[in-house]
């Protein structure tokens, strides 16, 4: 599902203008990105959490040159679904 499809679905169910819904979705994504860039986690009860995971330094390989290289430690954004969200998705597996 794309952002446009999500916006259409929300506009249809709420009666709001689609352009207003797109603006809200884009602002939501901006707030989440800004919070994570400041090192803050974003918790949405019943849905999940946007968190930052730290990857340790590791050794990688450049296969074409057959050389080793060091991949430095770095942070990556991640999403951790809430238990209620996991249960809802698990129900889909048994229904199919």
**pLDDT digits over 51-82, tens only?**
999 999 999 999 999 999 999 999 999 999 99
Using 50, 70 and 90 to split pLDDT, how confident is the model at 15?
Answer: very high
Question: What's the mean per-residue pLDDT of the chain?
Answer: 93
Which residues lie closer than 8 Å to 67 by C-beta, 6 or more apart?
A: 61
**Angle, helix 18-37 to helix 3-14, in steps of 10 degrees:** 120
CA distance 45 to 77: 18
Whether 1 and 12 have beta carbons less than 8 Å apart is answered as no
Residue 94 has pLDDT above 80, yes or no: no
Q: If you average pLDDT over residues 12-33, what whole number do you get?
A: 96
């Amino acid at each position: 599902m794309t952002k446009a499809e999500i916006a259409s679905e929300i506009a249809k169910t709420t009666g709001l203008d689609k352009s207003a819904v797109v603006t809200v979705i884009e602002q939501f994504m901006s707030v989440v990105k800004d919070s994570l860039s400041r090192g803050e986690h974003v918790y949405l009860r019943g849905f999940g959490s946007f968190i930052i995971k730290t990857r340790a330094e590791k050794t990688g390989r450049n296969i074409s040159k057959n050389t080793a290289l060091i991949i430095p430690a770095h942070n990556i954004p991640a999403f951790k679904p809430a238990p209620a969200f996991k249960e809802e998705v698990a129900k889909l597996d048994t229904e199919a």
